[in-house]
Structures are given as structure tokens and as C-alpha cells.
Chain A
Amino acid sequence: MYFNVFGEKVSKARYREMVNAAKNRRELITAGLTSRRELFKMGLLTAGGMLVAKSGLSARAGQQVQTNNPPSSGQNTSPGTNQNCVPGNQTASPPTRPFVQALPIMPVTRGVSSLTPAPTENPNVGAGEVRAAPFQAPLIDSTRFPVVPSTLYNIHQRQFATSQHPDLPTQTLWGFDDGTGTRSPGPTYQAFYGKPQLTRNTNSLPSITEKNNTGFGMASVSTHLHNAHNPSESDGNPCDFYTNGRFCDQYYPNVLAGFNSDHEPNGDINESLSTLWYHDHRVDFTSQNTYKGLLGFYCLFNQFDTGNEETGFRLPSFPQFDIPLAFADKVYDPESGQLVFDLFNLDGILGDKFLVNGVVQPFLNVEPRRYRFRLLDTGPSRFYEYFLTDLNNLSSQNPYWLIGTDGNLLPHPVQIESVRIGPAERVDVIIDFRPFAGKTIYLENRLNQLSGQGPAAIDSQVAAQNSATTECSLVLNSNQPAILPAGAGNLLLQFRVSGRAVTDNSVDPASNPTFYQLPDTTQEPRIVRTFKFDRLNGQWSVNGQFMDCNTFRFAVRQNSAEQWLLTNLTGDWTHPIHIHLEEHQILSRNRVTPTLPGDSGRKDVTQVHPNERVQLFFRFRDWLGKYPIHCHNVVHEDHAMMALWHVVPAGQEDNINVP
């Protein structure tokens, strides 16, 4: 099924023509905007030359199917790596024994009673603060949002040494220190609606000009609170960054969307957020800096989602039975055992070691009762589809409950056998371990992925032929990514379920409890914007242009509704697109109302699949200022698949061209 940008059905041939025409047009526009006249002057370019039709990206829609060695050796409790394959010119990591270390659970971030110097409404430039603008929240209501709120955090980004597996040497990473020691993932914020807080993020990484880099990472930071309904000056914009010795005070109002617009004064309860995360967002270097450790969780609670299983929605109690899990895949040097990052990759990076909360393949002792897990794909580029696997009974289906997507609880729990997420997406799930009392089971990723392109189909015949090679190549036409057989994927986390019965006061998802309602999406959009995600000669683009911190692409009117159409023109790539400030709801994928439970709720990252057009509903409320839209395959993001936009008061939106 092919559609034009207006959602009308077109033939495949017409679709290709459109794609080519759009590409040629973009090239002309690009030429005109930058240097076309000069090129003519130089005699390097003819109008004809630019207009020549070429196969362009549609060439990728061809039928070349190729793959590498069988996509997984993950069927193991045996020693080894649980790996798919190592892309390109990377070497395979050294072997590590699976499930020999306990899952680290990040402590709750420790607050401080005061900060010196005290936070100021305007950036305290004299003291070394790097912030774009005054705090917005105190200007709206200085009683509710005092410049110095009672909840304060004094956080430093620091270099530290840690072990990610007993079979690997000590690693030098970057993490967050709340005063109790540096760790990665950083400590987990336990935040509450109605309790504004301020975090002072100080860059205490080694001086950037010291010649002691471990091979990747830029000690220049901007910490973004991902998914927060936050004012732009505190959002952690990729274009505002600072080096050693500088700091930024970031004001997190912890207030519901709508509080200063359509749901005054407290906001819309149906916009409640729960699972957020913070991570470095430094333009061009986000992939390296997050890979090096600069990320952590931010869990937001309210009177319903209380963190106490005896109150409110009665979800499993935080932190004992409510555990954030940060997933990452990484590569280690086979000789030195040191963490390495492929600096010279434009497509996306896959690792052959799977980490949860900063360690390779850990185990977790659990009671036979319900747990809430907050699953986060920290990237850089891998997608996961999570299954529960009993290696002694591979044919068994082991359902669990999906209760939230990204930062948001769904209206009701949905029973699932698996759920798929891409980089930066989260799911909240409830796993009931009672059926597994006394057993060992696994959280397994059974999604096949061979390159930065995204999930891939498998051609088993070709796979067998190429089994001698170790190099990754890829599979095209991956509309139906393959789910590997149970036990043949990547075993990520081992659950050791104790045999003794315990009390469980948490809600039974099977009783179909109601959490929140989905906000209404019928409001007439003020404007419909189209975003085309494409690749022009290897350069990741949004609407034919590239990330540029000095260029704002359009302006959104504050407190208005919009529809955004995200269109993927890149053939075989899946792009997880993230939009700051406000969440969205997916109205359609290629004109069809989405049916997957993961698409039904509120989102801040949406996967846009090959040749897909996704229609999103937005309201942009309460705050003003600059925000980005970008691909969260962080390698694409770092190579310019990002655009900046503003929220402006009514009447000012026409100053900047609307795409």
C-alpha cells in the first residue's frame, strides 16, 4: 500500500515517481539555497545536470537479499556473547560468562538542602552557569514555582572506574554523582507531581584538552530530561553545551501539561507521566557520550501512581518491586577488554554484549509475585522485542502485562507475549513470577537486527551459505522483521524466582484496572506539518535539510493543536523519531488506525518504518522556547537528522517559515 502525503492511495510506480521527484526537487532547493549561483559562475553546474533524473533512493527498494552468519548464537547459558553479529570493521568482543553477577539497581537520587551559590532566575554567568534563558516557571507563578524550590539536587558528571563484568577489566566511564559516588546509569530520581525541583548539573569530567580520552566521548555536555513537559531553558537542548567547571541549573516543575493553558491551574491528569530518563544530548556527540555512560532514570509519581502498592493504582511498590531496567548493547576490544565505540559509522551501531543497568547479562533474584519493570532502550541503534523465555520449556507462551508506553500509563493493562521498542522508547510492564516459582527464566530479545537499519528479516538459505563469514551485512525489504525462535535470541536478564510464597498487595492486572483516559484528539489542528526523513548522499536529513544550531525551521503557536506527518523516505530504515516538550498520540500509520498496544497510548518516540507515513496529534502547551525533533537512533541524530523549532506566543508564528 502506497500513499501520497495527503494520505491518498497511489500505485507503487507513482509512489516511486513521487519519491524521485521529491528528491530532485530537494536537490534543486538545496542548490538554490546554498550556492547554486556560484556553482554556475564556476562553470561546475548546469541546470540540466541538476535536473537529470536518477535512480536515487528508490534503488534501495530493490530485491537484494543478503545476510551473514546465522543471526544468533544466543541460545545459551553457555559461555559466550549472545551475539548477533558485529557490524563492519569492528572486532568481536571477548567472551564473558553469562549471568554471573547480580543486576545493579540504581539508588534513588540524593537531594541537598541548599546550593552554593543559590540558584538565580537569570543565568548566573559570573559563577560559571551556562543556561539559555531565565527560568520560565517562576515567572508564571512564583509561589508554586519558587526560584529556589525545596527539592534541590547537586549533580556532577564525572569520570569513574567500574566493572561491567568480572571477565572484563575495569572500565573508565562517565556517570552522574549526586554526592554519594559516581555511577552509570546515574541515580534514579524519585520525583512527584506538585513538587518542583531544581538540578544543578555541573560538568566535572576531565578537562577536554587533557590527552586522556579513552577513545570516544566529548567532555562537553547538555543533559536532557527525556519526555518531560519542561520549559525550554531547562530541557537540555543539544545546542547549549558546556565543558569542565561550568554548570547549568535545570528547573523541573513536575507539573501536568495544561496547567497554564487548557487545564488551569493543575493541568490534565490524563497527561501524567511516569517513566522518564535523562541523558546527554550534546549535538554531534550524543551517541558517544550516552554510550560512555551519561544516562539515568527519572520516575515521576502522583496521587494515583504512588510508588506504594497499597495506595492509588496499587502498582508494585517502588523501589523494591518497581525496577528500572536500562538496556544497552556494546563492544569491547578483544585484546584489551576495554569498551570501544565505532567513531566512523554513519548508519548505526550494534554491540555484541548486552548490558542491563550497566553490566553484561546480569541475574536478578525475585520473589514469586508481581513486579513492575520500566524497560528502556538506551541505544545506540538496536531495537528489542522482549519475551519471557523458559529454556526448559521453549514452546511455552509466557504472557505478561503492558501497562505503559514511553512515559505513560495506558488506560488499562494489556496482556502481551512480547513488545517491541526502539532506541529511547520505554515500556512499563508487570511480570507475575508466581507461575515460575522455584524456576529460572529469562528476559529475551528475539528481534533480528543485523545493522543500524533496524529490525531485519532473515533469509535462512543465504544465512547458511554465508555462515563462514563474520562480517555483518544486511537484509533489505525488511517490512516483516523476523522474530527469532525462543531461546535463539539475546538472553538479556536472568530471573531467579524463589520458591517461597510471599505477600503481594499490588493490583492484579487481570482485574482490568483503569489508570488514565487518553486525551481527546478530535481538536481541529491549526496546521498540518509534514516531516520527511531521508538520506541524501549519506547525509541524514529532515525535509531535505540538516541539523544546524543556528537555524530554526518553524514556529509553533503556544497552546495550539497540530498534526504532524512523519514520512520515512529512506527505504529500508526504521527511524525512532523523538519530539521534545509534548507527547503525541498516533492517529494513523499509512492511514490505518494503529492496532498494536504499543501504539495506542501517548508517546514521545514513534518508530517510523520503511515507506511509512505516521500521523500524530499534538498540543503544544504552557511553555515557550526552542526544542528539537530528531531521530533517536543516536548515530543518525549525531549526523544531522534533527531540526530545531520554536514555541512562540500567538501572532509571532509567521516569522519563521513553516515547512
Chain B
Amino acid sequence: MQGVSRRKMLGMLGIAPVVVGVAETAGANIHLGASSRLTLSEQARRRIQEQHLPDIPLITHEGKPVRFYKDLIKDKTVSLNFFFAKCDEVCPLVMANLAKVQKLLGSQVGRDIFMYSFTLKPDEDTLEVLRHHRSMYHAGPGWTFLTAKPDDMETLRKAIGFTYPEPAIDKDKTQHIGNIRYGNEPLMLWSACPGMGHAKWIAETLEWAIHPETNRVQAS
């Protein structure tokens, strides 16, 4: 996939299998009507998926087409964040932190937790750029960089709540949300932590998502 042009890449996204993104949203009512056989817990999980985890098509840095919910999120513990290559303020701090977090979590990454970084500028960040960027942070196999059609990426950003209430600021990518969203999808445990915090603390936070049965106590 080396050297795939942006046009080619978007073309690939266009022909990526099916149109689930739209269909799922539109079908919300239909399936809820048919959901009476689901337990309350299953219904709640469905609801989270429909409102916040859209099954949009994406392309990994390796050029592989994937679906957000089905392939990246379902039944997994994950961390999600947004960046773009030419971002010189918040992104480098967050990404450098994630590189440390990856190291701290060790072999759990790619097995117990999957780290995903999404470009906010699919127009600029070609697969080549993603791969280059990825290598700068020494990202291992459990840390995937992804792009999508700009509209789909916007859908995703809004769905996971990385927005400002003020429309002007929300459009300003230099002020984009620097948080790391984390979650354990099957257990419906979702929260977020600041990407600019201490890497050690971020890693500990992500460990709870993997091992929520952890008890913590620390003498003052």
C-alpha cells in the first residue's frame, strides 16, 4: 500500500463493503422494536453501540479496510484518540504519552487492549504519513493508526463525544480534544482521561478497563 494517493485511498473506502453506517442509524427504531427478547443489559449495550460506536468504514495504516464497531471495538478493551500529523501543539504530547503507555502496558497491548489513533485530517494524512508517524512513536502491533472519509471521521468524532459545545471552537482543529477515551465494550465501562496527563497514570487507568476487578488503596 506504500504510496497510495489520497484519491485512491478514498476510493478504497468508497468501495469498502456495504453501507452499514447509515443503515444502522436509520434502523435504530426497527431493531429496538424487535429487541424485546434481549435482556436489559443487551439492550443497553445495543444502545451504546447505536448512539456512540457507529460502524463506519475505516482504513488502517496498513491499508486494510475495517469497520469501527465490528472490527475495532466489539468485545474488546480499547483506547481511542484523535490526532493529525501536522498538529504541533496537543498531539505530539498525547502521542508521546501513548508511546509510553504502550511500553508500560507491555504485552497486554494487542492482546488485552487495543490502541487506536484516528486522524482528524484524512485529507492530509495519507497512509504513508500514518505509517511514518506510527514509526516515529515506535507503535507496536496493538496500536493501529486509522483514517476514513472525512465525513465518516466527523461522525466518529462526534459519536464518541470529542466535541466542544461552541461551534466555532469545535471546528478549530488546533483546539481539538486531547482526551483519551477508554472502554471495556462488553462490560460497558467507558470513561476518558486527559492525553496530556502523566503516562504512568494513563496506563494505570487503562489497566482498570482491562481488569476492572482491581482494588486500589494507597496510604497517604
Contact = CB atoms under 8 A, between A and B. Distances in A.
B168 A215 contact: no
A27 B94 CA distance: 12
Interface in B117-168: 136-137, 158-168
6 contacts: A88-B161, A209-B213, A216-B188, A219-B212, A336-B40, A343-B188
Contact of A132 (B47, B199, B217): B217
A449 interface: no
Contact of A640 (B33, B177, B197): B197
A123 B219 CA distance: 11
B73 to A, nearest CB: 13
Contacts of A347: 165
Interface of B: 29, 32-33, 35, 39-41, 43-45, 47-48, 51-52, 88-90, 92-93, 96-97, 100, 136-137, 158-169, 172, 174-179, 181, 186-201, 204-205, 208, 212-220
A127 interface: no
Given A130-B215, A343-B191, A344-B160, 9 more contacts: A38-B96, A42-B92, A44-B92, A88-B163, A214-B44, A233-B220, A624-B220, A640-B194, A640-B197
Given A211-B41, A213-B187, A60 B166 contact: yes
B190 A344 contact: yes
Interface of A: 27, 30-31, 34-35, 38-39, 42-46, 49-50, 52, 54, 56, 59-60, 62, 64, 66, 88-90, 123, 130-133, 172, 207-209, 211-216, 218-220, 232-233, 239-244, 246, 284-285, 333, 335-336, 338, 340, 342-347, 451-453, 473-474, 476, 536-541, 545-551, 572, 624-626, 638-640, 646
A452 B165 contact: yes
A548 B197 contact: yes
B80 to A, nearest CB: 10
A430 B197 CA distance: 46
Nearest to A26: B196
A130 B162 CA distance: 35
Contacts of B158: 89
A499 to B, nearest CB: 45
A34 B199 contact: yes
Contact of B178 (A220, A342, A538, A624): A538
A624 B220 CA distance: 9
A172 B215 CA distance: 24
Nearest to A209: B213
Contacts of B194: 536, 539-541, 546, 639-640
A473 B51 CA distance: 18
Nearest to B162: A538
B52 A343 contact: yes
B212 A243 contact: yes
B89 A239 contact: no
Contacts of B33: 335
A170 B165 CA distance: 33
A285 B199 contact: no
Nearest to B197: A546
Contact of A89 (B44, B159, B167, B168): B159
Contacts of B92: 35, 39, 42, 44-45
A343 B190 contact: yes
Contacts of B35: 335-336
B23 to A, nearest CB: 18
Contacts of B201: 548-551
Main secondary structure of the interface of B (DSSP, over half): mixed
Contacts of B191: 218, 284-285, 343, 638-639
A539 B90 CA distance: 11
A639 B179 contact: yes
Interface centre among B90, B195, B217 (most CB of A within 10 A): B217
Contacts of A474: 165-166
B219 A133 contact: yes
Contact of A344 (B161, B197, B198): B161
Contact of A213 (B41, B88, B163, B174): B41
Nearest to A169: B40
Interface centre among A46, A243, A452 (most CB of B within 10 A): A243
Interface centre among A50, A218, A344, A474 (most CB of B within 10 A): A344
Nearest to B199: A34
B199 to A, nearest CB: 7
Given A49-B89, A536-B196, A220 B165 contact: no
A572 B168 CA distance: 14
A338 B44 contact: yes
A240 B41 CA distance: 28
B165 to A, nearest CB: 5
Interface centre among A31, A88, A215, A624 (most CB of B within 10 A): A215
Contacts of B214: 220, 243
B187 A211 contact: yes
A336 B48 CA distance: 13
A537 B178 contact: yes
A537 B165 contact: no
A346 B88 contact: no
Nearest 6 pairs between A and B by C-beta? A215-B44, A344-B161, A538-B177, A537-B178, A539-B194, A626-B220
A549 B97 contact: no
A550 B215 contact: no
A241 B220 contact: no
Contacts of A540: 194
A473 B164 CA distance: 10
A215 B217 contact: no
B122 to A, nearest CB: 20
Nearest to B172: A59
A538 B198 contact: no
Contacts of B164: 538
A241 B215 contact: yes
Contacts of B100: 35
A43 B191 CA distance: 32
Nearest to A90: B51
Contact of B216 (A239, A539, A624): A239
A451 B215 contact: no
Contacts of B204: 549-550
B32 A336 contact: yes
B44 A213 contact: yes
Nearest to A24: B89
Given A44-B92, A214-B44, A208 B165 contact: no
A213 B172 CA distance: 36
Contacts of B179: 346, 538-539, 639
Nearest to B211: A209
A46 B199 CA distance: 22
A338 B216 contact: no
A420 to B, nearest CB: 21
